[in-house]
Amino acid sequence: MLKQRTLKTLTRAVGVGLHSGQRVEITLRPAQPDTGIVFRRVDLPQPVDIPVSALAVTDTRMASTISHGQAKVHTVEHLMSACAGLGVDNLYVDITAEEVPILDGSAASFVFLLQSAGIEMQNAPRRFIRVLKPVEIRQGEGTNVKWARLAPYHGYQLSFEIEFSHPAVDSTGQRVLFDMSTGSYSKDIARARTFGFTKDVEMMRANGLALGGGLDNAIVMDDYKVLNAGGLRYDDEFVKHKILDAMGDLYLLGKPLLAAYSAFRSGHALNNLLLRELLDHPEAWDVVTFDDDKKAPQGFAQLARAW
């Protein structure tokens, strides 16, 4: 049987929020089967649980924000991406402020945290959302067009294409295909950092955003080049970060997908609309488990051990 997974033990990290600049501590704790991933605002007078779901996403400007009532957590996508990549189904994330720490701007620190705590197999079948019919969201026209799509696939594959018309971005690979069965999330995707442009950063700061951002936790570019002394971590780090974000955004569905995701210039907003479109079409998906590991997509049974 393909089993659900949680952590063996709890683990902690301290950092700052990318947008708020606020100091924040997160504690990742094991959770019972079928709990899903639940953020808990432990700094509020009464702690509030915010379970992840596509419908809990209330803001997608700059980052993905989830809410329950008045309680919010911003910038959940990189931690969610690490959980998707390592196949963590059940987890409590205790958090002391309203934004997940940015750490190094990628998912690598979260992967390290989860791996250090260790992955525990649980005695319950892992439930996948299997896409049966294609669903698509498309916005804009001509040079402004962007789209995201889910199609049936026995496994989990993501392909992403970007177009920025910026010399430092356009000189790198603009297109990446990543397949969970054959690729390594922690090696190939997790280290890709978020990126921004100095001219936008000034505007964002004036609006109280990106207050915690800098060369330690983002690729920063002026009008011509990358300003980080160490350069890029991957030749195609920009588009790989978009895959990292998409994996985090899509994992807000609450269950792993069996699907092929493809996107052109998508982002947090379009990714969430795509999940809502899927949920609005019950005939386009079902929930499956694998009693026999051999019937699962190649590589899925080995996931936790292989890392």
Indicate which residues carry an active-site annotation.
Answer: 268
Among residues 104, 188, 245, 249, which is the contact residue for Zn ion, using CB under 5 A? 245
Nearest to 251 by CA among 54, 6, 28: 54
Give the contact letters, 193-232, x = binds to Zn ion (CB under 5 A), - = no. Answer: -x--------------------------------------
Question: How far, CA to CA in Å, does 7 sit from each of 88, 186, 292?
Answer: 8, 17, 23
Q: Which stretch binds Zn ion (CB under 5 A): 12-20, 176-184, 195-203, 240-248?
A: 240-248
Distance CA 277, CA 269 (A): 12
Q: How near is the Cβ of 266 to Zn ion at its closest, in Å? A: 12
As beta bridge partners, residue 5 has 121
Looking at residue 185, what DSSP letter applies?
A: H
Q: How far is the CB of 118 from Zn ion (least distance, A)?
A: 26
Using the rule CB under 5 A, is 99 a contact of Zn ion?
A: no
What distance in Å separates the CA atoms of residue 47 and residue 248, rounded to the nearest whole number?
24
Select from 294, 241, 295, 286 the least CA-distant residue to 259.
286
Judged by DSSP in three states, 191 sits in coil
CB of 199 to Zn ion, least distance (A): 19
φ, ψ for residue 93 (rounded to 5)? -120, 95
Tell me the site size for Zn ion, rule CB under 5 A: 2
Of the candidate spans 83-91, 239-247, 254-262, 282-290, the one that interacts with Zn ion by CB under 5 A turns out to be 239-247
84-99 burial string, b = 16+ CB within 10 Å, else e?
bbbbbbbbbbbbbbbb
Contact region for Zn ion (CB under 5 A) — 22-30, 125-133, 244-252, 264-272? Answer: 244-252
Q: Which is nearer to Zn ion, 2 or 52 (CB)?
A: 52
Minimal distance in Å, beta carbon 86 to Zn ion?
A: 17
Binding site for Zn ion (CB under 5 A): 194, 245
